[in-house]
Amino acid sequence: MESNAIANLSNLLDDNFSKSVELIYKSKGRVIITGIGKSAIIANKIVATLNSTGTPAVFMHAADAIHGDLGLILEDDVVVCISKSGNTPEIKVLVPLIKNGPNKMIAITGNTESFLGQNADFVLNTFVEKEACPNNLAPTTSTTAQLVMGDALAVCLLELRGFSSKDFAKYHPGGALGKKLYLRVSDISSVNQKPVVTKDTKIKDVIIEISEKMLGVTAVVENNKVIGIITDGDLRRMLSKTENFSNLTAKDIMGSNPKCIDNHAMAVDAMELMETNDISQLLVEENGEYAGIVHLHDLIKEGIL
């Protein structure tokens, strides 16, 4: 029932929607979103979505608004009022108070003929035939429709503003999502040790270097350029094939053409490169020179995986 109601929303759209988007987009103020009951909870979510996608928004509870919170509304703000019926007592008191000011008002309502619908500057129709509740009482289908309409507004505004993933990262710096958007390889590799040997380094010293730096790998460099890599696996394979390795050097067991990544690359790209090549370490380069190591465990620790 909810699915069908959502599918029907597109049939209810008219130029009120595009005019509402344009009004908010051109506004120099914020979006004040108000409602009561379950609609107030939906209003809070729409506020959060707008704020995170570049449109400043503030929640104002309809009941609190008529008891002092009207002071939240500034001259350039756009008010969005959400109500299924559009005729609740609080809405009937609040709407005239808003209309007395200079602010434009957008209604999100399932009843365009309601008090709210008739007094708003623009009306977004979220009519639903019936609630999913078997008693047709608990707000279910209606609040879902309100939420979808709010998402539609947010996405249109996001596209108009050219809001990119980099912008998104600014508003979501915390958690795994934020890290995927802003964490770079250099942020991780810079805190790791930097194992390094030359092609002429004796195997004994190679083993010591890998053990001391505790990353299970070392880069083989020449003039600070990467020419190879030696991993724990390379050492194990050498030991299984060679009884006397005292005369061996790094160049005898190193893998050539190792997988490298630029230190400015995103950490999530490093993860993808490791998964694609089924490896657990990448050599990091800066301006073509060896700069360190990024390990799979670093990415897991940061919550990238």
136-177 residue pLDDT tens? 889 999 999 999 999 999 999 999 999 887 777 677 666 656
pLDDT at 31 over 60: yes
164-175 residue pLDDT tens? 877 776 776 666
Residue 261 has which token pair? 């990544």
3-state secondary structure the chain: CHHHHHHHHHHHCCHHHHHHHHHHHHCCCCEEEEECCHHHHHHHHHHHHHHHCCCCEEEEEHHHHCCCHHHHCCCCCEEEEEECCCCCHHHHHHHHHHHCCCCCEEEEECCCCCHHHHHCCEEEECCCCCCCCCCCCCCCHHHHHHHHHHHHHHHHHHHHCCCCHHHHHHHCCCHHHHHHHHCEHHHHHCCCCCCEECCCCEHHHHHHHHHHHCCCEEEEEECCEEEEEEEHHHHHHHHHHCCCCCCCEHHHHCECCCCEEECCCEHHHHHHHHHHHCCCEEEEEECCEEEEEEEHHHHHHCCCC
- Residues 220 and 192 sit within 8 Å (Cβ to Cβ): no
Residue 185 has which token pair? 């390889």
pLDDT at residue number 177: 64
The residue among 121 and 164 whose pLDDT is bigger is: 121
pLDDT at residue number 106: 98
pLDDT at residue number 178: 64
pTM beyond 0.85: the answer is no
pLDDT at residue number 157: 97
Q: Which amino acid is at 22?
A: E
Question: From CA 7, how far away is CA 244, in angstroms rounded?
Answer: 73
* Residue showing tokens 């010591």: 208
pLDDT at residue number 136: 87
Q: Which amino acid is at 297?
A: H
What is the pLDDT averaged over residues 38-58? Answer: 95
pLDDT band at 303 (very low <50, low <70, confident <90, very high): confident
